[in-house]
């Protein structure tokens, strides 16, 4: 291939396009995925936060939270794609046999490499990240549904 020939110009143009365009497209694609993930997380948090008043109303006279999620909590709400209704809610007691004095709401983080779950704690009243697999860490299925 001689400099100035049509095949040489084509190869040079192809190399230039590869070096300039491909990284640009990849950056745009990655940022688009990141924006989509943040939107999904925001929707899932809003869904969980919409459940909180119903969960508080469901407390028993001994201030114990329900052991299982109640489908009426999300009646009329659109369930976001990150929410697994089987594992979204869990109530805890820190004393064996005592009332369930706290609850957690959780959902999976999209496209995650490390952190797998976002968890809301009624104790701290805040969200945190957790990399534990709910099915292997003692989280129990608290609601079963077929979607």
Per residue in 45-103, pLDDT (tens digit) is 999 999 999 999 999 878 889 989 999 999 999 999 999 898 899 888 776 667 888 99
Split at pLDDT 50, 70, 90, the class of 105 is very high
Q: How far is CA 98 from CA 107, 110, 141, 142, in A?
A: 26, 35, 20, 19
For residue 111, what pLDDT band results from cuts at 50, 70 and 90?
Answer: low
Fold of 38-136: 3.30.1300
CA-angle at 50, arms to 95 and 82, nearest 5°: 90
Q: Residue 78 is encoded by which pair of tokens?
A: 């659109």
Q: How confident is the model at residue 108 (pLDDT cuts 50, 70, 90)?
A: confident
pTM metric for this prediction: 0.68
At 125, give phi and psi (nearest 5°).
55, 45
CA of residue 133 relative to chain centroid, distance:
13
Looking at residue 115, its pLDDT comes to 56
Provide the pLDDT for residue 47: 97
DSSP state of 110: T
The confidence score (pLDDT) of residue 147 equals 37
pLDDT at 135 over 70: no
Mean pLDDT of the chain: 77
Q: How far is CA 96 from CA 88, 93, 99, 138, 139, in A?
A: 22, 7, 9, 15, 16
């Amino acid at each position: 291939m001689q400099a100035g020939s049509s095949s040489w110009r084509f190869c040079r143009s192809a190399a230039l396009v590869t070096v300039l365009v491909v990284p640009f497209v990849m950056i745009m694609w990655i940022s688009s995925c990141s924006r989509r993930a943040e939107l999904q997380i925001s929707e899932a948090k809003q869904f969980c936060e919409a459940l909180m008043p119903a969960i508080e109303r469901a407390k028993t006279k001994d201030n114990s939270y329900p052991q299982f999620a109640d489908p009426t909590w999300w009646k009329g709400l659109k369930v976001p794609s990150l929410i697994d209704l089987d594992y979204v809610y869990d109530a805890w007691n820190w004393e064996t046999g005592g009332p369930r004095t706290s609850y957690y709401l959780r959902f999976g983080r999209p496209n995650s490499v490390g952190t797998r779950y976002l968890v809301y704690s009624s104790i701290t009243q805040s969200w945190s990240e957790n990399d534990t697999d709910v099915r292997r860490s003692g989280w129990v299925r608290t609601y079963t549904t077929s979607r």
